[in-house]
Chain A
């Protein structure tokens, strides 16, 4: 073993290795240090200390009710394996409608029915989240539809342009379309 190494003591690679091998530790240690600000920003985001989401969309009036909407992250949709690309939104119901709204849903494009209203929000009326699949063929002028279902059986809908709901998603779609 020692002979094999000793036979080529001048090899550049082996000299570099001998000189720098313990510096791998420093590189590895820089990883958590570098990600620490991101870690604490995420912890604060998920704890609700830094608002509803990374980017506020504003208040959307849905029939007699309204809700505040935010992008959880101000960034392009994230892949979730075979389920495709997903985009998370957070919402908070208006104070007066908390007791009246049974469920809230999100969908790209107008829902065909309540049953097909899209993905449902989880959480509490003060802070709830939904993870919406974004089909890759979504058009740049697509609309984000919000469906609110009331305890009395009523249903109200509203739409906002996707470009308003998530500019990052529109940019991502344009980039993918260009490819």
Chain B
């Protein structure tokens, strides 16, 4: 059982062979961080815990009523900048079912 998300399957196979029971340390968990920047904008940066980026991954800004306010994808630099919505919202970094990071508006740092 290797309930892990690896960026490189071949590397994962090698690591599992090498590390055996200790492969947990090499798991690459998805991560996402959002910060308020100037002009009421918010910038979110996605990636994986091994330090690699996540360009092209879906990042949606969703209202508390579940309407998608800003549908987006991370750019080549693994970031997405959007205007802070007027209504209550959360940010969903979505690399696929079960590979998500959710950030509530309350957890977005002020500039």
Tell me the A residues contacting B by CB distance below 8 Å: 42-43, 45-46, 48, 80-84, 86, 88, 90, 103, 105, 112-113, 115-124, 127-131, 133
Contacts and interface: CB of A to CB of B under 8 A. Distances in A.
Contacts of B101: 133
Interface of B: 1-4, 20-22, 24, 27, 29-31, 33, 47-51, 62, 64, 66, 90, 92, 94, 97-102
Contacts of A119: 98-100
Nearest to A111: B102
Contacts of B100: 115-116, 118-119
A116 B31 contact: no
Contact of A83 (B20, B29, B64, B90): B29
A103 B97 contact: yes
A112 B90 contact: yes
B98 A120 contact: yes
Given A103-B97, A116-B100, A123 B3 contact: yes
A88 B25 CA distance: 12
B29 to A, nearest CB: 4
Contact of A128 (B1, B29, B48): B1
Contact of A122 (B3, B29, B33, B62): B3
Nearest to A137: B107
7 shortest A-B CB distances, which residue pairs? A120-B98, A122-B3, A129-B3, A83-B49, A83-B31, A83-B29, A123-B1
A45 B1 CA distance: 11
B73 to A, nearest CB: 16
Contact of B1 (A82, A83, A129): A129
Nearest to A73: B24
B23 to A, nearest CB: 9
Contact of B49 (A80, A123, A129): A80
Contact of B27 (A120, A123, A131): A131
15 contacts: A42-B21, A82-B47, A84-B31, A86-B29, A112-B66, A112-B102, A115-B100, A119-B100, A120-B99, A121-B3, A121-B98, A128-B3, A131-B3, A131-B4, A131-B24
Interface centre among B29, B51, B62, by most A CB within 10 Å?
B29
Contacts of B30: 83
Contacts of B47: 82
Given A123-B1, A131-B4, 6 more contacts: A83-B31, A105-B98, A122-B3, A124-B1, A129-B3, A133-B101
B1 A46 contact: yes
A80 B29 contact: yes
Nearest to B102: A116
A116 B4 contact: no
